[in-house]
Amino acid sequence: MKGILNTALTFIASMIGWVIGAKISIFTAFVVSTIFMGFGLYAAIRITKYYLP
């Protein structure tokens, strides 16, 4: 369950970052997507520590 949640939140956060960064350029989309992926993974880890045993 933890792996599924990690994958889902990193994917969603990465897509949000890509959409935001793609308005500027493809390289900016890549960088912003990578940063948002890190935030998504951090949020997923925090959620799984709090809600899952």
Quote the pTM value. 0.87
* pLDDT at residue 39 in the model: 97
* pLDDT at residue 41 in the model: 96
If DSSP codes are grouped into helix, strand and coil, which group holds residue 23? coil
Q: Name the pLDDT band for 52 (thresholds 50, 70, 90).
A: confident
Number of domains within the chain = 1
Length of the chain: 53
**Residue 25: left (phi > 0), alpha (psi -120 to 50), or beta?**
beta
Tens digit of each residue's pLDDT (9 = 90 or more) over 3-47:
999 999 999 999 999 999 999 999 999 999 999 999 999 999 999
* pLDDT at residue 53 in the model: 78
* pLDDT at residue 37 in the model: 97
Domain encompassing residue 40:
2-51
